[in-house]
Amino acid sequence: MSVLNGKKILLGVSGGIAAYKTASLVRLFIKAGAHVQVIMTPASKDFVTPLTLSTLSKNPVHSSFFNQDDEDAVWNNHVDLALWADLMLIAPATSNTLSKMTTGNSDNLLVATYLSAKCPVYFAPAMDLDMYKHPSVLSSFNALKSFGNIMIPAESGELASGLSGEGRMAEPENIIAFLEADLESKLPLKGKKILITAGPTYEAIDPVRFIGNHSSGKMGFDLANEAANLGAQVILVAGPTHYKAKNNLVEVIGVVSAQEMYDVCHEHFKDVDVAIAAAAVADYRPKVVATQKIKKAADEFSIELEKTKDILASLGAIKKNQFLIGFALETENEIENAKLKIQKKNLDLIVLNSLQDEGAGFKKETNKVTFINQDFKIEPMELKSKESVAVDILNKVVSHFVKL
Ligand code: CTP
């Protein structure tokens, strides 16, 4: 999945021949799953039509401060447009537009919006080879870079003038690749490896029966997807569940029993930076697993159970620098029991679920959790979707690494 998926992109098109390539650029953004709004300078409309870009972006194209064609002229709020965006790209960026951006000459909607933008701004220059090397253009590049804007360098090749050299706007595919690489390199969990457990475990009674629980695995899969969205490499050890990982940075290792989950976790734990135990692991399993289906006979029947290994506690016992997060599902004395689990399992953070909270628990879309850290700082959270709870938990992971 592209890092551009779900991103809100504001594309500013200025008036150069390369503007015709923005049709492909918008298509590639949409294909990557981004939302696109386009602002055009008046001059750019000579090179590509607003209708083309609005059709491809599936949004109206903005080019003046108000829509003159409307009976009741509607003001295009450049501040709203700028604040909407996760990133702004000016492509092609002509020398005229670049120079206006450096001086704040906001006589068009594109530059006014640029000046209001708080998001990262990228610019892909396009001009003839001598212009591209002119000191005044170079000083625009330097000024914009000093403002924190990011230049996507022009490429070499045949130019509209007939000359050949540096100045062609980077090809749309290369602009996309540049943005993806830049955004990925800045993801807060880039380079981090995270182990997550999810779902129930099934403990066999005989070849056709097992002891299990109602865990759906959703919380663990949401955590895995969110961690991958933040750039982490994720190993998700999942008990039986129908969920699939949405992000290809997630490696799912399917297991069935607590013992299998234990083995896989121990195989990977030494290589990870973070481990999050979101699985509802069975605490007991049948002491003996019948090799044949148990036949119905006596009126009463009992199964002798033995304890499974506590995976989380075993990881806590051997942890070095790993940031270890556990869950606690409690029905009474929640806070006290959760604090005991922090100590017993040597955790950095516990996510407490109380089944007494409406909307929380197994097979629900929502969850209401309380965070308790090693210093017993208690932080109750609102009832929210499991995706949002996953975001909150991963924010704790990100802050841990920021503090280091
Ligand atoms: N856990 C685990 N291995 C087990 C049991 C639990 O890794 N065999 C993990 C769970 O994934 C969870 C945490 O331990 O992160 C706490 O699970 P919970 O069921 O609340 O507590 P238990 O330790 O099993 O204790 P109890 O059932 O007595 O409350």
pLDDT in tens, 223-255: 999 999 999 999 999 999 999 999 888 999 999
Q: How far apart (Å, rounded) are the C-alpha atoms in residues 43 and 66?
A: 17
Residue nearest to atom 21 of ligand 1 (CA): 328
Instruction: Give me the percent of the chain exceeding a pLDDT of 90.
Output: 87
Q: What pLDDT sits at residue 101? A: 98
CA 329 to ligand 1 centroid distance, Å: 8
Can you read off the two tokens belonging to residue 214?
Answer: 């109602």
CA 220 to ligand 1 centroid distance, Å: 14
Q: How far apart (Å, rounded) are the C-alpha atoms in residues 181 and 170?
A: 15
The distance of Cα 315 from the centroid of its chain, to the nearest Å, equals 27
Q: What pLDDT sits at residue 130? A: 94
The overall average pLDDT reported for the chain is: 94
> Which mutation among 327, 344, 346, 353 tests ligand 1's pocket best, with the greatest number of atoms within 8 A of CB?
327
Report residues whose beta carbon is within 6 angstroms of any ligand 1 atom.
197, 258, 277, 279, 281, 283, 308, 310-312, 326-329, 341
Report residue 352's pLDDT band, with 50, 70 and 90 as the boundaries. Answer: very high
CA 271 to ligand 1 centroid distance, Å: 23
- What residue type is assigned to position 249 of the chain? L
Tokens 């289906």, residue located: 293
Among left, alpha and beta (phi > 0; psi -120 to 50; other), residue 243 is beta
Residue nearest to atom 8 of ligand 1 (CA): 310
The distance of Cα 184 from the centroid of its chain, to the nearest Å, equals 10
Q: What is the mean pLDDT of residues 116-141?
A: 97
Q: How far apart (Å, rounded) are the C-alpha atoms in residues 382 and 209?
A: 39
Which residues are paired to 89 by β-bridges?
A: 11, 122
> Which mutation among 215, 283, 355 tests ligand 1's pocket best, with the greatest number of atoms within 8 A of CB?
283
Q: pTM for the whole thing?
A: 0.86
Q: What pLDDT sits at residue 305? A: 98
Q: What pLDDT sits at residue 361? A: 63
Q: What pLDDT sits at residue 45? A: 97
Q: Is the pLDDT of residue 358 over 80?
A: no
List, in order, residues 6 or more apart from 350 with CB less than 8 Å away. 325, 326, 327, 328, 338, 341, 342, 371, 372
Q: 136 vs 65, which has greater pLDDT?
A: 136
CA 189 to ligand 1 centroid distance, Å: 26
The minimum-distance atom of ligand 1 relative to the CA of 344 is: 23
The minimum-distance atom of ligand 1 relative to the CA of 325 is: 15
Task: Report, as residue numbers or ranges, the catalytic residues.
Answer: 213
Q: Is the pLDDT of residue 90 over 90?
A: yes
Q: What pLDDT sits at residue 71? A: 63
Q: 76, 69, 83: which is closest to 39 by C-alpha?
A: 76
Q: What is the mean pLDDT of residues 356-374?
A: 80
Q: Is the pLDDT of residue 385 over 70?
A: yes
CA 157 to ligand 1 centroid distance, Å: 62
